[in-house]
Structure formats: C-alpha cells, structure tokens
Amino acid sequence: MAVRALSNEVRSVCEFETDRLRVAPWHEIAQRLEVDLAQVIARMLTVRATLGLPESWQGEHTVESASDWIDDRDAEASMLLVVESESGQPVGIVVLAEAPISTTEVDIRIGYLIDEDVWGQGMATELVLGLVAWARRRPGIRTVTGGVDPANRGSVRVLEKCGFDPIGPPNTGAHEYQLEIRSPSVESGQSADRRLDE
Ligand SMILES: CC(C)(COP(=O)(O)OP(=O)(O)OC[C@H]1O[C@@H](n2cnc3c(N)ncnc32)[C@H](O)[C@@H]1OP(=O)(O)O)[C@@H](O)C(=O)NCCC(=O)NCCS
C-alpha cells in the first residue's frame, strides 16, 4: 500500500489543541512563534531521542544539517510542530502520512518525537490522544496506525494508553499499532462520499 504525504485537503486543517499543547504544520507555527525551525529541530534531534528511529532521523544535527533534514521530511510527509501552550516552547514533532484504503478512506500513519527535556510528563500521551480526537473530527479517516520498535517501551506504552492494538505479524523488527477511528463504510462509497463533502 502506497504511503504519501497528507492530501492538501487534510493537511490544510491538520491543526489542533489539547489542554497543554498546540499542534500545527511546522513551518506555519514556527513563523507564528518567530522561531528558527532548523534551530528547534537541531535541538530536539539528539542522539538519545533518535536512537530507535529510522536511520534518517538518527545522530546529532547542526542547524545546517537540520535545515536539509527539514527539506527531506517535507518531501515525504506532513510535518507538525508541538508547542507547549503556556511557555510557547516547541516540545515535539509529529510526522503524518496517509495510505489509501479505498477511494474515500485513508489510514493515517503517525510518528512522533518529544523533546527529551519534557519526557515523562505525559506529553506524548496527550499528543496522540489529541491526534486521535482530530482524526475523529475529520471525514475519510478510517484508521490511525503507528509503527514502533517493540524495544521502545515508552512509545508502545503511549500507543496502548491511547487505545491502539497491535496488528499483524511483526515485520522488519517493528510492530504496527492501530486504532479504528470509524467502521468501514459498508454500503459502498456513497456514505463515505457524503462524509467527505461535509
Ligand atoms: C517515547 C516517547 C514519545 C514518550 O514520550 P513521553 O512524553 O515521555 O511519554 P508519556 O509521558 O506520555 O508516557 C506514557 C507512558 O509511557 C511510559 N514511558 C515513557 N517513557 C518510557 C520508557 N523509556 N520506558 C518505559 N516506559 C516509558 C510512561 O511511564 C507512561 O506510562 P504510565 O502512564 O503507565 O506510567 C519519548 O520518549 C520520545 O519521543 N522518544 C524518542 C522518539 C520516539 O521513540 N518516538 C516514538 C517512535 S514510534
């Protein structure tokens, strides 16, 4: 199944708030906060935080390498920045992509990284619950899926706490966890088409 960046229609509205967090497309939010996105990313992508992540995320980044890294991510996915509302501090990154399930429904694939400085404060759980609530408000999203290395106990726990269940056999060392947002549209595309038009 092909995975691609979010369609423009979904991307343009991928913005939400939770009790403590504001989440929005990373360039937009960096501009609003008047922060240099490359600096923010270089700070967050530490060796420790990226250890179990795909190779392209790993290692230490300078502001220059982070700038290239941002371009690479923009080319393959929809990227969000997570900001702590009270302090205005960026505290995380979200990567979103979509895989079509039918002509009217998609699976949203999520990935996330929380700034080491705020680990253990429930931020990831709050973020993923916020993402799920956002997906429930959007038409056309049937499932949300996160791929996670089983050794990443923190991330597995986050997904479990948010109601995700493991699916299928483990492949390439990573488990997939999925949450059904809405039941498949059984009667054909008609009902789903109507939802997409809402
Ligand atoms: C994994 C990660 C997202 C967790 O973020 P966080 O904000 O610290 O998570 P939370 O505070 O919401 O914790 C949620 C649960 O996970 C547990 N947890 C968090 N980190 C853990 C760890 N390293 N080992 C075991 N459990 C952990 C918490 O105790 C909590 O469970 P509890 O409520 O039962 O006590 C964060 O450590 C991170 O960004 N790591 C690097 C990037 C990464 O791994 N991303 C996920 C890729 S799939």
pLDDT for the residue numbered 11: 55
Pocket of ligand 1 (CB under 6 A): 49, 52-53, 111-114, 119-125, 146, 148, 152-155, 157-158, 161
Tell me the per-residue pLDDT of 62-107, one tens digit each, with 9 for 90 and over.
Answer: 999 999 999 999 999 999 999 999 999 999 999 999 999 988 899 9
Is 0.85 topped by the overall pTM?
A: yes
**3-state SS, one letter per residue, for the chain:** CCCECCCHHHHCCCCEECCCEEEEEHHHHHHHHCCCHHHHHHHHCCHHHHCCCCHHHCCCCCHHHHHHHHHHHHHHCEEEEEEECCCCEEEEEEEEEEEECCCCCEEEEEEEEECHHHCCCCHHHHHHHHHHHHHHHCCCEEEEEEEECCCCHHHHHHHHHCCCEEEEEEECCEEEEEEECCCCCCCCHHHHHHHHHC
Determine which residue's CA is closest to atom 41 belonging to ligand 1: 49
In order of their start, the domains of the chain are 8-144 (3.40.630.30)
Determine which residue's CA is closest to atom 10 belonging to ligand 1: 122
Name the residue of 157, 160, 161, 178 to mutate for ligand 1: max ligand atoms within 8 A of Cβ: 157
Tell me the per-residue pLDDT of 160-174, one tens digit each, with 9 for 90 and over.
Answer: 999 999 997 766 666
Confidence of residue 190 (pLDDT cuts 50, 70, 90): very low
